[in-house]
Amino acid sequence: MSIYALLLSFALAGSSNNASERNEEIYDVADRLSLIVKKSKYFESELQNTVHKYLEGFFDIHEHNLNANATETGVVVSKVISNDQKLDDFLINYLNKYPASKSEIGELTTNTSGLRSAYIRLTQNYGKTTPSLIIAILILYSFMMGFLIGFMKKFHSNETFIVSTIFVIISAVMIGAIWDQDHPGIGFIRPKYESINEVSNLFKAYLTRHHL
């Protein structure tokens, strides 16, 4: 029983850490987005318009990635890299036209590269789950414990009923919690995107005000 409890604790702690890391990575993405949005307000018009298109593309990718799905990670990463590459192609040409902007472009490239890496890490985190071996061992142990409790019940009549009930409830709740945190797109515990959505809303409000 103690080994079973230890495995349950280990698996639950691992899935909880993955869920916590997802939220930390969301805050990191939001901070990087906020910085790029703020700095873009001071760029000259040609550069500003291109950066705004880059941000619009990024937010569009994110809005279609709210239901975290590990099977779509590769597609999302490809879109992020493609969006980033379009900006890089423009910046190379822009730097050739305006060599004096080298420092400004260098800083912008650092910020966008950091954003790309942070969002890719977040997206790939959706695929972090409790190792299959641990889940298999948990299932095996649960069957063994169930068999043991049933065997004991045969000799002690109904005296093990409470133990059986507690075992089933605890096992179901713990394994359910592990599964839920391992599947952020369909479980009850979802990634909290509010910080990214707030930056997106502020950016859209800024574009609306300056295009009237």
At 64-79, the pLDDT tens digits run 877 666 567 788 889 9
Contact partners, residue 15, CB within 8 Å, separation at least 6: 129, 130, 177, 178, 181, 182
Q: Which residue has the tokens 């703020």?
A: 38
Q: With beta carbons less than 8 A apart as the criterion, state whether 195 and 26 touch.
A: yes
pLDDT, position 9: 64
pLDDT, position 33: 95
DSSP 87-147: HHHHHHHHHHH-GGGHHHHHHHHHHHHHHHHHHHHHHHHTT----HHHHHHHHHHHHHHHH
| Residue 190: φ, ψ to 5° | -105, 155
Confidence of residue 186 (pLDDT cuts 50, 70, 90): low
User: Is 80 exceeded by the pLDDT of residue 16?
Assistant: no
Q: With beta carbons less than 8 A apart as the criterion, state whether 130 and 182 touch.
A: yes
Query: What average pLDDT does this structure show over 125-139?
Result: 68
Q: With beta carbons less than 8 A apart as the criterion, state whether 58 and 80 touch.
A: yes
Q: What is the pTM of this model?
A: 0.73
Confidence of residue 44 (pLDDT cuts 50, 70, 90): very high
Sign of CA dihedral 189, 194, 200, 201: positive
Q: Which residue has the tokens 């574009």?
A: 207
Neighbours of 161 (CB within 10 A): 12
Q: With beta carbons less than 8 A apart as the criterion, state whether 184 and 19 touch.
A: yes
pLDDT, position 212: 44
**Percent of the chain topping pLDDT 70:** 60
Alpha-carbon gap, residue 29 to 138, rounded angstroms: 35
**Tokens, residue 14:** 């691992």
